[in-house]
Amino acid sequence: MQTRPFGSTGMRVSAIGLGAWQLGRSPHWPDGPDEAEAVRIVHTALDNGVTFIDTAPGYADGHSELNIGRALAGRRRDEAVICTKFGYLPDGTENWSASEIEASVQRSARRMNVDHVDIVVLHNPPPEILDGSRSDHYEVLQRLQDKGIIRAYGASVDWSADLDLVLSTSASTAFEVRLSALYQEPWPAVGRARDRGAGTIVKVPLESGWLSGRYHADSVFAGVRDRWSREDVAVRAALVDEFRSLLPAGVGVLAGALRFLLSYDAVSTVIPGTRSVAQLTSSIAGAADGPLPADTVAAIRAWHDRRLAATPLGW
């Protein structure tokens, strides 16, 4: 597994990380892995060189962090760089009070059975909190970094404008950014974050499963993914077919999607969502051959600009 520097923070992270939002079974995620499978997923990740784990207090109604803690018991702390978030609680409610940040981080650390959390990001906060000139959240996070409770902080965002806002109003060095071959709007701001010494975690790299290669025009969705209309499904299926046609012979959609993102040095780690050992090993294998050829990357960028830049895909 290739490792990359996480900006100028001094941390190194695996190119493929473990996206742990599905790492548990709960009322809101009944199809997630049970406790034993969740522990196996984390152990398989660590044993295969995956050193970056991304979670949050609200993932799987709090079970994600608990399962990470079970898996890390008896392991060396330096085997994993752990990122968690602030803003959403295990019961699904929100609390954005800056005075609650330290207590939230300490609760996350206890759930995960660790003495510190490496990275903490604000979990897609409201605009008035995202803006460091209007809130004191980043000052609190900086104090936690100064005290050694965390090693880096920042925000999870979806748009260039949001990333630029955080860059211009805080000393953040950690960003979690939505990016994929089908959603490339934040690229310019990700480059500016790199130039500032920040690390970037790419979330939703497989576009909620569309770039895993398992969905098509006749797919039917339930649960959180029934938000897509039949028209949405047809559009996404056609885009995946177009993307597939741009890839070199023998490169599948999943591998192409991950290798495209890893073609940029501004990307520190990519975190496909994982709810089984099989999904994890597919992601690891998919990225094993490193970045795509430069001409393929250029073709994918040009295709996106022609087809999607004016009307980016929603969730």
* pLDDT at site 23: 93
Checking if the pLDDT of 216 tops 90, the result is no
Q: What is the mean pLDDT of residues 31-36?
A: 91
Q: Which residue is associated with the tokens 């759930």? A: 111
User: What is the residue whose two structure tokens read 């600009």?
Assistant: 305
pLDDT of residue 217: 84
pLDDT band for 138, please (50, 70, 90 cuts).
very high
Mean pLDDT of 255-284: 94
Cβ neighbour number for residue 143 with a 10 Å cutoff? 13
**Interval 235-256 mean pLDDT:** 95
Question: Are the CB atoms for 280 and 18 separated by under 8 Å?
Answer: yes
Q: Tell me whether residue 248 is exposed, middle or buried, using C-beta atoms within 10 angstroms of its C-beta: 0 to 12, 13 to 18, 19 or more.
A: exposed
What is the DSSP code (8-state) at residue 292?
Answer: P
Query: Residue 163's pLDDT is what?
Result: 97
Domains of the chain listed by start with CATH number: 3-209+255-290 (3.20.20.100)
Residue 308's pLDDT is 85
Query: In percent, how much of the chain has pLDDT > 90?
Result: 80
Q: Is the pLDDT of residue 143 over 80?
A: yes
Contact criterion met (CB below 8 Å) for 42 and 74: no
Q: Residue 226 above 80 pLDDT? A: no
Pairing, β 199-203 against β 174-178? parallel
Could you report how far apart the first and last alpha carbons of the chain are, in Å? 30
Q: Is 74 left (phi over 0), alpha (psi -120 to 50) or beta?
A: left
Quote the DSSP letter at residue 248.
Answer: P
What Rg do the C-alpha atoms of the chain give, in angstroms?
A: 19
Q: Give the whole-number percent of the chain exceeding pLDDT 70.
A: 99
In this prediction, residues 265-273 reach a mean pLDDT of 96
* Whole-number pLDDT of residue 273: 86
Strands 3-5 and 12-14: antiparallel
Token reading at 186:
């934040």
Please count the CA atoms within 13 angstroms of the CA of 61 that sit on its side-chain side: 11
Integer Cα distance of 212 and 256 in angstroms: 10
